[in-house]
Structures are given as structure tokens and as C-alpha cells.
Amino acid sequence: MSIFRFQSGTESKFFKHSPAPGAVRAWLIDMLCWPARFDDPEVEREFTEDYGRRFADFRRAALVLGTLIWVCFGYWEISLARTSPVFQPYFAELFAFRCAGALVATVGIVLAFRLAFYRDKVAHWILLGGLAFMCLCLLMQTFLAPRPFNFTHFFVGFYLILFYQFGFLRLRAKATLMLTVCVIAVIVMAQLITHAIEPENFAAGMFYLLNVAVLGHSVNVNAERHVRDRYVAVEALAQSNNALQSANAELAQKHRDLERSRRDQQSKSEALIALREQQREAAEQASRAKSRFLAAAAHDLRQPMHALNLFLAAADEALEASDVEASGRLIGEARKASVLTARLFNAVLDLSKLESGHVKPNYTSVDLSRVIEETVEQLAPFAASRGVTLRHGKAAPKPAWVRTDADWIPRVLSNLISNGIKYADPARKGRCAVLVGVVRMPNYVRLDVLDNGIGIASEHWESIFQPFVQIGNPERDREKGLGLGLSIVNAVVALLEGHRLELKSIEGRGSRFSIRLPVTHQFALPDAALSPADAASAPSPASLRGRYVLLVEDDSLVRASMEALFSRWGVLFDSVRSVAELNDLLQEIERVPDLVITDYRLPEMSTALDVVRLLAGQFSRPVPCLVVTGEAGANTQGMLPERCVLSKPLSTDLLIARMLELTEASARAG
């Protein structure tokens, strides 16, 4: 039936000669018969839904336009009544029908915007009902108006209604044809009854009206057929896309299998080349960010290292001048610079480990109220030194159990509280405060840290979480922090599952940092508790006197500094630089070492794991081993607990505490 099928076979020759009567008849049927419904009722229903949604806005606009045209003809009737004595006696009745039509059209507009007008059935009822009423009003005007106005001014309005009906409302062909036939039949019946219009004018008018109806119907038929064909094409394209996506998924699976098996290196290279262009921009952005990070880190590290060198040089000159008091003071200042350097190194290392994915969260059931109490207690002296009041809600009715990492969440809270203390508003001297609170929700617990400090402008909300960004510290004063606290907070929260960080701040009034943590039950996961080593006060090196330690360190400078510390602490020790030298030493020693301290990466492609294996094969009882490394993400493959791995640089207090913890635990086990 489709006219587009004339492009193939013998039918294409049909256009080279005179058309056959059967072809013309088929063409006329195809032009004038409304498109058949889809065979599948479900497809027809989906089509009508799509049809209604697609033309809903267009129909609303056409409805408004038709109403405006109808109202404009009312102004014309008013003008005609003023100028024509013949028309004036009929004006009141005719204008009443004009007003009735305008009222119904207005109701139709209201319904089009309030009802489910996007449903094709609803739209058809509203539009067809409105058209029928408009035709009835125009019919009454036509047969009530005096001659010749009934034909010249009103009958021609049916042409406009048909043009409007077929061309603007996007109604389906069958419905519009039925309405048109009914309207024409009513017009003919009215003429036969009233003979209001001259016969010759009525015949001419009906001739044109029928032509408009036929042409409009053919246009409507082709428009609906086009929409139906387009719907079929779109559905076919969607199915093709689904098939293509399935094929792509299958191809991707084959590609992953191919990568895992590594049987075809050439295919893997082609896949990497295909991905290279897509990843280039992301890689460049990451590279630029890393360069900025390294530049900022290098700048901030140079300052305390420069001060350290100058203090040591000054102390050396003071010693040469036998000024012991001055040399001691200078060495103390050098130690402060060293501590600041170590803090900065550790912060950079923590951030690097978090962003590189080397940190694996250890989820436990944690009482958030207890974490808040302990953290506030630790930071209370710091807050007092800055003139800041540090408070938290102590009247909690019950513990706030959350699922989180017990090692990282106290650090996050400590960084947020420290940030609020450091950025207290100087104008509020004596009235600065930081408040820590917990808000319980059914599915999560919200941890809030509020301050009335200097606040943060909205344009800086994202940048403050970048490394080394300090909005209120353009001079990079280290007394105001390292600029890494919020970066570590952001990285930790992004790492922990079900956690979310929120910020609200008003410049000049203060800030609120909030963290959402998922709720859990007390016994859903192992409860995290502080180990004795963590809870203890600063340890004394005198407790290590007489202990025998083996040191494995390939860096001569680090090895010499460790030997100097051990000598000052009274620790007995032997030091080597490689696993091979350690093996030779173990053949000669007569005492089982109390502890072995080793670097992770050692000469001859060896690691701390080789040291652990060597000790296990040499001694009948376990010898504790402590790994002190500068390598991020050092992997002990489960052979050593996490507490047996420390990152360089580290403070002497932490080194002493961990040495005591391991040696005492070994002594109790022995």
C-alpha cells in the first residue's frame, strides 16, 4: 500500500509510461484512507502515548492561536454592526454565539494545561469537542445572519476551521474525517431546511468546502502515516542500538578475557591505542594537578629544611666558640624545624597513600560519641592556647554506633576541629567557639563541627579541599597549619563507603563541616578500641636499655643516625646494609635479638619480606620485626601486622613506643 514501494521492480517502469488505472486507484486509496492501526494492541497503545506526548505543546499553542483568531473575528463583527444598518439588528444574537465559542475555547485552553493533555485520547476529546462546538456556533451564525453576510462573512469561516483542524491540531485522520463529515452533513441539512443561503452561492461554497476537506484529509493522512513510519523507524533504531550495546558488551567481555589470558599482545596494544585519546585529557589534567602538588610540597618543605640547616650551622659555630648555652638553644630550634618537616612529610605521604588507593579501610563498629570526647579532650589545650572555647554535647542519651574506620575517623575529626580553632575570628576575642555535635537519623549519623570563625566565601568552597590551599594564609605561615588537613579529610571521606562530607559557611560568621556516617549496631562489627601503645603517654628511652636490636638499612646516613640514637639510649645493636650481610651476621651472633628493624626496599632486589623469612628460618621462636620505610603503600603480604610498618620520617617518641610494644609483646609470648 505504501507509495514508497514504487521505487523497485516493474513499478519503477510505471513512471516512464502512462499510469495504469489500477495504480492510480491504489494511489488514491493510499492518499485518502487513514493509516491502519498496528496489529499489536500494545504497540498501538505505546504509539498513541508517544504521539500525545510529542504534540502536546504544539496542540496547546495551536489551541491558543485558534482562540485568538476566533476572538479577532468578534472585533470584526462589532465593526460591521457599526457600519451596516442591515447587519446591526442581528448583531446581538450573532455576537452571543461568538462569545459562547470564545468561552468554550478558553475552557479548552484551561483543560489543556490542567488535565493529562499529553494523553492522546484526552487531547482528542478536548480538541474535537471544542471544534464541534465552534462549528455549531459558526453554523448558527451562518443561518441567522442576513444575506449576503451569511455567505460572504460567516460561511467562509468553515474553510478556516477546516484548515485549522487539518493543519495545526495534529489530530489523527480518522477522527478529523468523521468530524468533517458530520459538520458538512449538518450544513447541508440546515440549508435544506432554511434555504438561508442563495442556492448558487451555497453550491459554490460547498464545492470549495468539499475540496478543502479532501485536500486537508489527504494531508492529515500523510502526516499521520509519516508519524507512524517515523515511530516504527525509531523503535527499529532503538532495537538496533540495544543489539549494538549487547554486541559491544559481549565484545568488551571478550576483550577482558583476552587481556587476562594475555595470549594476544597485539590486540591488547590496539585496545590501549583506542583508549589513549580518551584518556589523554584526563592524564594531562592529573599530570598538571600532580605538578602543582609537587611544586607546593617542594616549596613548603624547603622552608623548614632551610631553617634546619641554618640552625645546625649556627649551633656548630656556637660549639666551636664553646658557647654551650647558645648551641643548646639552636639545636632545640633545629629540632622544631625537623619536627615541622616530619609533620609535612607525613601529611604529604598520607594524602599520597589515600589518593593512590593504597589505603584499605578496616570497617568496625565505632561509638562516635566516645571518639568525640577523646578528640575534644586531646585538643582542649590547643584551643585554650588560641583563646577558643571547645564544646561538645555531653548529654547523649546513648552511644552513636557507626560503621567506619576506627583509625581514620578520629584523624578526620581532629583535622576539622583544628581547622576551626586555627581560623577563629580575631574580632571575636574571648567569644570564639568551636562546637562538636551529633545528629541521629534513622539511616545515618551526622557529625557536625561548627565554628564562629572568619568563614569561607562560596567561591572558595571547592578550592579549600585542594592540597596546600589556605584562603586566609597567603603568606604561607606554618603556624596556621600545613594546608593539607582538609585535603586529607576529603580524601578519607571519599574513601570510606557510605560517608559524605558537607560544607556550609558564611563569610564573616563561621562554618559548619558535616560528615554523614552509616548507622550500625554495637555488635554488627568488631568494636574498635585504642591499643595500650596509643593511649600511653610519651615513653622513656630508658626502658630500652640493654635490649639487643639488629638494624638492616642500606642508606648510610639513616643507618648512622639510628646507630647514634641506639647508643644514646643504651641499646645493644648490630647493623648491616643488606639481606646477605644479615645472613652472615646471624651465623656469628650468640644472642637472639629482641627486635629487628629494617627498611622495606633493600639492595639486590630484596625486601623486608626476605628479612622476615630469613629470621623465621634461623630462630626457633618468632623474632619481632619493625619495618621503617619511606615507600608509600609498602605491601607486607600479610606477613606482618599493620602496626609493624612505620613511615619515614617518624618521631623518636613513636619509634620508642613501637619498639617497646613489640619487644614486650614478644617477651610475654616467650
Answer whether the bond into residue 148 is a cis peptide, omega within 30°.
yes
Q: In Å, how far are 98, 305, 322, 325, 330 from 312, measured between CA atoms?
A: 102, 11, 15, 14, 7
Q: Mean of the pLDDT values across residues 412-431? A: 78
The set of cell numbers assigned to 180 is: 468533517
CATH of the domain at 658: 3.40.50.2300
Residue 51's pLDDT band (cuts 50, 70, 90): confident
Q: Are 364 and 527 in contact (CB under 8 A)?
A: yes
Q: Which residue has the cell 633545629?
A: 334
Grid cell 610519651 in the structure block, residue:
538
Average pLDDT over residues 115-135: 83
**pLDDT at residue number 337:** 59
Identify the pLDDT of residue 596.
92
What is the pLDDT averaged over residues 614-642? 78
DSSP collapsed to 3 states, 139-160: HHHHHHCCCCHHHHHHHCHHHH
Average pLDDT (580-594) is 87
Q: Is 375 helix (H, G, I), strand (E, B) or coil?
A: helix
Work out the pLDDT band at 522, boundaries 50, 70, 90: low
Same domain, 215 and 95: yes
pLDDT tier at 30 (50, 70, 90 boundaries)?
A: low
Phi, psi (degrees; rounded to nearest 5) at 103: -65, -45
For the segment 540-547, the average pLDDT, to the nearest whole number, is 84
> Is the pLDDT at 468 greater than 70, yes or no?
no
Per the structure, the count of domains in the chain is 5
pLDDT reading at 232 higher than 60: yes
Domain assignment present for 249: no
Residue 257 lies in a domain: no
In a domain, 644, yes or no: yes
Q: What is the pTM of this model?
A: 0.41
Band of residue 15 on the pLDDT scale cut at 50, 70, 90: very low
Grid cell listed for 62: 495551536
CA distances for 216 relative to 32, 170, 391, 648, angstroms: 10, 12, 80, 86
- Spell out the alpha helix ranges (H) of 321-362: 324-356
State yes or no: pLDDT of 35 exceeds 70. yes
Domain C-terminal end among 530, 559, 589:
530
Lowest-pLDDT range of 182-186, 306-310, 511-515: 306-310
Question: Which helix (H) or strand (E) element contains residue 617?
Answer: helix 608-618
513 — phi, psi (to 5°)? Answer: -100, 130
- Please tell me whether residue 318 adopts helix, strand or coil conformation: helix
Are 437 and 577 in the same domain? no
Q: What is the CA radius of gyration of the chain?
A: 44
Residues 381 and 302 in one domain: no
Whether 309 shows a pLDDT value over 70: the answer reads no
Inside any domain, residue 258: no
Range of the domain at 507: 364-530
- Are 549 and 452 in the same domain? no
Q: How confident is the model at residue 670 (pLDDT cuts 50, 70, 90)?
A: low
Hey, which residues does 444 pair with through a beta bridge?
518
Same domain, 81 and 227: yes
* Residue pLDDT, tens place only, 256-293: 777 777 767 766 677 777 777 676 766 555 555 555 55
Q: What is the amino acid identity at position 33?
A: C
pLDDT at 532 exceeding the cut of 60: no
Same domain as 84, residue 66: yes
260 within some domain: no
Beta partners for 500? 516
The string of DSSP codes covering 65-115 is HHHHHHHHHHHHHHHHHHH-TTTGGGHHHHHHHHHHHHHHHHHHHHHHHHS
Q: Are residues 457 and 538 in the same domain?
A: no
**Same domain flag for 386 and 484:** yes
Question: Cβ of 379: how many Cβ atoms within 10 Å?
Answer: 20
Cell numbers 504509539 correspond to 47
Sheet holding 548-552, edge to edge: 572-576, 548-552, 595-598, 625-629, 645-647
Return the higher-pLDDT residue of 314 and 77.
Answer: 77
- Residue 198 scores a pLDDT above 80: yes
Can you say whether the dihedral through the CA atoms of 447, 452, 458, 460 is positive or negative?
A: negative
Do residues 511 and 505 make contact, with C-beta atoms less than 8 angstroms apart? yes
Grid cell 632545640 in the structure block, residue? 332
Q: Within a domain: residue 251? A: no
- CATH code assigned at 332: 1.10.287.130
User: Could you tell me the CA-to-CA distances from 374 to 122, 392, 399, 405, 593 in Å, in that order?
Assistant: 66, 11, 14, 16, 37
**What SS3 state is found at 402?**
strand
Question: Are 347 and 397 within one domain?
Answer: no
CA distance 377 to 382: 10
Between CA 85 and CA 46 the distance in angstroms is 57
Measure the CA–CA gap between 403 and 61, rounded to whole angstroms.
56
Residue 136 burial (CB < 10 Å; 0-12/13-18/19+)? Answer: middle
Report the distance separating Cα 562 and Cα 281, nearest Å. 46
51 and 196 share a domain? yes
pLDDT averaged over every residue in the chain: 76
- Residues 188, 46 share a domain: yes
Residue 567 located in a structural domain: yes
Q: Which residues contact 113 (CB under 8 A, 6 or more apart)?
A: 60
pLDDT for res 228: 76
Least Cα distance to 113 among 176, 68, 61, 165 occurs for 61
- Residue 2: pLDDT band with limits 50, 70, 90: very low
Of the residues 356, 375, 397, the one at which a domain ends: 356
User: Is the domain of 14 the same as that of 82?
Assistant: no
What is the secondary structure of 152-193 as a DSSP string?
A: IIIITHHHHHHHHHHHTS---HHHHHHHHHHHHHHHHHHHHH
Q: Which of 311, 331, 356 is the last residue of a domain?
A: 356
Q: How far is CA 11 from CA 16, 22, 23, 123, 287, in A?
A: 10, 12, 9, 40, 65
Supply the pLDDT for residue 552: 92
Does 620 fall in a domain? Answer: yes
Is the distance from CB of 573 to CB of 566 less than 8 angstroms?
yes
